[in-house]
A = this chain, B = another copy of it.
């Protein structure tokens, strides 16, 4: 008998009625002969409400206790879904992350799964129970509750599938992975299949359906990940290894990141140690830098631009004061009216001309970009916010997304 790991997100579990629908879905698979492991998120907006409560309690909640607080959300939904399944006549058992054997590294709030001891889960599966596991959580070696951060329940699901050697189904509030966010581009196409690499790149570049970390685990352990709607029976998207089925398209998807901050340091005395110092200071301040560009030296000075998340501006400013104090010539400019638009496709590896086509399309439509950067399977541009919709439309049309 084959095993499936299914994960249901908070919006699929936001009420008892929705949970009952999910229970029926699980039962359908059970009836089709599968052993079922179900990973659940917290109900609806529970996690946000708990965070809000902790913010009322204090300005800077201690991370250890925040994890202990947040972990209750998934425990609640696991218990309730199990009660529902039992009453419907299907033997089930609810497990906390700890009971399910999820061992994490020591860090709080954004921990990683160190290992999973699946012996308990296997034992219950062998007793024909449906196993319901609280996602997003585990315990570290000191038995302290730790949570996995954003997308943590997806990570739990993919990691269990990896350990159990089975497929993983992620049920969410969208019908799968789209070439472009349908809210941005109404004609966007749902993808039947996408490679791990493309999905990782799209996650990193702003697609919010799957966190990069979960896809990374899926990729490493070759877990087929099927993403579909928890509410409809429409077919979803399968994330899998790159093969002929996925190689035809040069561009698979397009994603947009809002709230990009572009910082320019003007008139830095030209020396590689000065530029190195800038990025060392930013790293020490915990600022994650994305696209970097530098002008050619002119009269002994260079201009250096980089993008970061808009929320990091205060940290950037503070870190750069050291540079400004050393070099009186340096001026700091910021532009937070910026977005990043990226196109992703494994086919770029073998098909040239994607960049050329985009440059042409942007030029034809009077879209000005500020920076451009490429990876093996993606090209990203920073653009003024004003160009966002137009750029999405013309790029999506050009690549038939």
Within 8 Å of chain B (Cβ to Cβ): is A76?
A: yes
User: Which of B61, B71, B144 interacts with A83 by CB under 8 Å?
Assistant: B61
Q: A98 contacts which chain B residues (CB < 8 A)?
A: 143
Nearest B-chain residue to A70, judged by Cβ: B79
User: Which of B50, B62, B64, B80 interacts with A69 by CB under 8 Å?
Assistant: B80
Most chain-B CB neighbours within 10 Å: which of A60, A64, A83, A93? A83
User: Which of B19, B53, B54, B57 interacts with A57 by CB under 8 Å?
Assistant: B19
- Is the pair B99, A83 in contact by a Cβ cutoff of 8 Å? no
- Is the pair A58, B79 in contact by a Cβ cutoff of 8 Å? no
Nearest B-chain residue to A17, judged by Cβ: B56
- Is the pair B96, A80 in contact by a Cβ cutoff of 8 Å? no
Interface positions of A from 75 to 124, Cβ below 8 Å from B: 75-76, 78-80, 82-84, 86-87, 93-94, 96, 98-99
- Is the pair A99, B65 in contact by a Cβ cutoff of 8 Å? no
Q: A65 contacts which chain B residues (CB < 8 A)?
A: 79-80, 82-83, 86, 94
Which interface class (under 10, 10 to 19, 20 to 34, 35 or more) fits A? 35 or more
Number of copies: 2
- Is the pair B87, A79 in contact by a Cβ cutoff of 8 Å? no
Measured in the bound complex, the distance between the Cα atoms of B58 and A87 in whole Å is: 6
User: Which of B62, B69, B83, B86 interacts with A75 by CB under 8 Å?
Assistant: B69
Within 8 Å of chain B (Cβ to Cβ): is A16?
A: yes
Measured in the bound complex, the distance between the Cα atoms of B80 and A144 in whole Å is: 16
Measured in the bound complex, the distance between the Cα atoms of B43 and A50 in whole Å is: 13
A142 → chain B closest CB, angstroms: 9
Within 8 Å of chain B (Cβ to Cβ): is A278?
A: no
Measured in the bound complex, the distance between the Cα atoms of B93 and A68 in whole Å is: 11
Within 8 Å of chain B (Cβ to Cβ): is A275?
A: no
Measured in the bound complex, the distance between the Cα atoms of B75 and A144 in whole Å is: 13
Measured in the bound complex, the distance between the Cα atoms of B148 and A153 in whole Å is: 30
Within 8 Å of chain B (Cβ to Cβ): is A204?
A: no
Q: A56 contacts which chain B residues (CB < 8 A)?
A: 16
- Is the pair B57, A16 in contact by a Cβ cutoff of 8 Å? yes
Within 8 Å of chain B (Cβ to Cβ): is A72?
A: yes
8 closest pairs, A vs B, by CB? Answer: A58-B87, A72-B72, A69-B79, A65-B79, A16-B56, A68-B79, A65-B82, A61-B83
Q: What are 23 A-B pairs at a CB distance below 8 A?
A: A16-B53, A54-B79, A57-B80, A57-B83, A58-B83, A58-B87, A60-B87, A61-B83, A62-B86, A62-B87, A64-B94, A65-B79, A65-B94, A66-B83, A68-B75, A68-B78, A68-B79, A68-B96, A69-B79, A72-B72, A72-B76, A99-B143, A99-B144
